[in-house]
Structure 1
Amino acid sequence: MSMPARTLEFAAAPATGPTTPAASQPYQPNSPPIESTLPQVDDHQAGFDGERVPRSQIYAERARHLSERYGLEMNPHAWYQMEGHVLRVHKPVRMRVHRQCHQCGHELNQSNTCDGCKHNFCRLCTRNPPKRTEAENIISRERRDHITKDRTANAMIVPDWDCKPSEKVVLSKPGRPGGQELVYKKVRQRVRRTCCQCLEATGSEVTFQGGKLSCPQCDHARCTDCPRDPPKKDKYPYGYPGDEFGAKSIPHYRCHECNAKFPPGAADGTECIRCSHKKCDGCERLRPHKVEPEADPEVWRSVQEKLAAMELS
C-alpha cells in the first residue's frame, strides 16, 4: 500500500516595497524540514539483561588466543567486519546431565519425571555422566595442574618472523653428561699441505699450520711443489691459490692480445693458435687459480646423438 506524498506549500508575503536581505544573514535556499526520529527498541530486546560488546573486541580476543596457542599472527581487520555490537549474556558454565529411568528406560525430562511411566528420579535411576567422588575430583585437579605446569615448562617454539640475517644464529644441542655443548658446524674438507723441502731433506712430513704460507720448521714458502692431501689437479692445474712457483712446476703462459693459452712450457717466439702472435715478454705467466673443467667431447657427442634421435622419432 503506497502512502500519499506530502507536499509543502509556502505562501508569498505581500510586497510592501523593495527590500534587501540583511548583511548578517546569508541567503539560504529552501530545503524540506528534517523530521526527527526516535530510536526504536525491539520488543524482544526490551527485557534483555546483558551487555553490548563491540565486534572488534571479540575478534581481537580470538586472535590473541590463536597467537598464544599456535604461534600465529593474525590481523582480524583483514578477515572480519568490525562494525556493530554483539549482545552477550554471561551465564555460568554448566554440564549437561542425562538421567534415565530404571523402570522403563526412558530419559527423564527437566522436572526429573519419566514421560513414559511418570516415575520420579531416584537413586536407582542412571545418571550420565556419573557423579564423581571426592577422591576422583582430587585426582582430576592434580592431573589438570600437571598438564598446566608441563605446558608452561615446555612451551611451543614460536617462529621469529623478524629474523635479522646480520646476527649469527648458532645451532646447538646438549652433549654427553658432563661434557660441553655440541655446536652445529658446516661440513668442511680437511686439507693438509706438506713442505716439499723438509720431505726431500729429512724425509719428515711437516704440515703447514692453518692458513700460514711458511713452513714452521724450515721457513720455506709454500710453493706449487708442496703436495696437497687430497690433491685436486683437475680444478687447480696451475697450482693452488697463494702458492709460489716451485722448481718443478711447468710454466703456462697466456697471450696478451687474445688471452689464449700457449702450450705448456712454450718458449719465446711460439705462435698463438688463435691470433698468430708470437710469444714475447708481455705474455704473462698464469698464476695459480681455479679452472672450471671443460666438457668432455665424447659426452657432448652422445648428447647430440640422443637429441637427433628424439627429433627423428
Structure 2
Amino acid sequence: MQQERARALFAKYGLSLDSHDWIAAPAPMPAVQRVEKAIRMRVHRSCHRCGTIYGSDKNCSQCEHPRCKKCPRYPKKKLTVNKEKELTSDDKPRKKRVLTVTTRAGNELAYQPSKQLVRRTCHKCETVFVPTTATICENCRHIRCTKCPREPAKLQKWPSGYPGDAEADSDSEVEKQLEKFRRTWRKPRQRVRWECEKCQTAFISGSPQCPGCGHERCDKCVRSPIKKLKEEKVYDPRLVAAVEAKLRALDVDSDALSEGIQAA
C-alpha cells in the first residue's frame, strides 16, 4: 500500500522509484519473556524499648538502642515447613553420651568433671566445717557467719559474705565494744621547734623568718629537740689488722682493701 502511494507520488513529479531505493520497514522486535519475581515487601522494625520505627540506620534515633532480636518485625517472618515441623515435633531431646571406662574387675566407671573443693573454717576455734554445707561448728557450736574464712576465697563475687552465712553480730556485747574502741598503734610524731639566735623568739611553723626581729633562720638557730647525729661504726683495730693480714696472704690489692673498709 505504501509502495503504490510512493510510485504515484513519484510519477506525478516525473520521477522513477526503483525497488532498491525503497527503504524496508524495520523488523518487529522479538517478544521478550517476562521474568516472574516474588513481590517485594517492605519490612519495618520498631525499637522494643521506646517503640520508634528504625530507618536505614541500625541504631534507634530516639534512644540510640542498636537493633536486636527482641525488636519486633512487621510483617512477621513466615516460618518454613521444616522449621514448623521442628517446632511441632514431639521428639525427645537426645541424651548426652556418658564417657565410661571398664576396669579390670569388669565395672564401668563414668567420667565425672572435676569439682572445686571448698573449705569453711570457724573464725573462733579455727575448726573446719564438716561437711562443707554445714552451718554450725562441731567444736564450739558457732553459727557460720561472714567472718568465717572460705578457701578459696571469692571476695569479688561475694564481698559482704557468702550465701547461707549469718551476720557477724552473734558476738557478745563486750567483744563488740572491744572491737569498736580497739586502739591502733601509730608511730608517735615529734614536733620540731626553732628559736632565733638573736632574740630567742620561737619561729612560727612553716615560716623561715623570725616574727620578732625578722632574722632568717640559719644553722646557728637553736633546734629543739637537737638533731641526732648518725653514729659511725668503729671497728676494733686488732680485728682490722687480722683481716688485712689474711687479705695480704691472698694477694689482694691494698687499694681494693681500703675501699672495702670504707664501704663497710
TM range, smaller chain? under 0.3
Larger Rg: 2
Task: State the TM-score, normalizing by the size of structure 1.
Answer: 0.23
